[in-house]
Amino acid sequence: MVNEAGDTEKESLTVVRDDFWASTSNKQLNFVQHVKTLLEINGRAAIVVPDNVLFEGGAGEAIRKRLLRECGIHTLLRLPTGVFYAQGVKANVLFFDRKEASETPWTKTLWIYDLRTNRHFTLKTNPLGRSDLDDFISCYNPENRHDRTETDRFRPFAYEDLIHRDKTSLDIFWLRDESLEDSENLPDPAVLAAEIVEDLQAALDQFSLIATDLAGSTDSDD
């Protein structure tokens, strides 16, 4: 888009809806709000969100506060970085239930499982397998998620503590990242090399798609 001064500006679409808690151009935050509107009372959701949904200020803070208050957010799974390695996305799975109107917050305790710190996965050389989720499922305790046990990777955080965090950030971690302190814990050089190749190949694939789109756009203009 070109403004009155003749400068090119990046167009940003801010979504404004009466049933949304906040107006924002952040697609991920709008997705969270949209999912909430689709749920019936006591409906359950588990959605994949990038890290910025957990800590972004402004609209992000407003949405997290309303989500904590008006929905029962009970579990957050911090996924390992290698799951979406090609896109370079650090992601999480957020579990919550929609509730009816209430004077008191519905979220009482948020349990966070850290499947990221000191865990190393890639899309090809060391992909995340079903068995890697066994401990999380055991901790989640789907038979009765109100009866849970704290472990090194699974910790509870009370609503009052969450609401008083800076920007109501849910980007919480407590495990020591051993790779930052001990070079001996770095992955094998062959694994690192394979990851670099994957990353470069993913970048080349993206550039190829862009080049194809540009070529198609040029042809249509002719």
pLDDT of residue 199: 65
The structure's pTM equals: 0.76
Say what the pLDDT of residue 122 is: 77
Tell me the average confidence (pLDDT) per consecutive run of 10 residues in the chain, 222 residues long.
Answer: 42 76 92 95 95 95 97 96 69 96 96 94 82 97 96 98 97 86 61 68 71 69 58
Position 124 scores a pLDDT of 76
What is the separation, in whole angstroms, between the first and last Cα of the chain? 21
- Short-list 97, 119, 23, 94, CA closest to 62: 23
Structure tokens belonging to residue 55: 């800590």
Q: Given this model, what pLDDT does residue 81 score?
A: 82
Query: How confident is the model at residue 6, as a pLDDT?
Result: 41
**Measured between alpha carbons, how far is 35 from 47 in angstroms, rounded to an integer?**
8
Q: What is the pLDDT of residue 188?
A: 67
Joined together, the tokens standing for residue 209 give 């798609």
The structure tokens listed for 99 are 């509730």
Neighbours of 110 (CB within 10 A): 23
Class for the domain spanning 27-184: alpha beta
Going from N- to C-terminal start, the domains of the chain cover 27-184, 187-222
Q: In the prediction, which pLDDT does 180 show?
A: 61
Burial 173-193 (b: 16+ CB within 10 A, else e): eeeeeeeeeeeeeeeeeeeee
Rounded CA separation 99/103 (Å): 12
Q: Please report the pLDDT score of residue 179 as a whole number.
A: 66
Q: For 168, left (φ over 0), alpha (ψ -120 to 50), or beta?
A: left
Question: How far apart (Å, rounded) are the C-alpha atoms in residues 65 and 160?
Answer: 11
The rounded distance, in Å, linking the Cα atoms of 122 and 101 is 43
Q: What is the pLDDT of residue 89?
A: 76
pLDDT of residue 219: 61
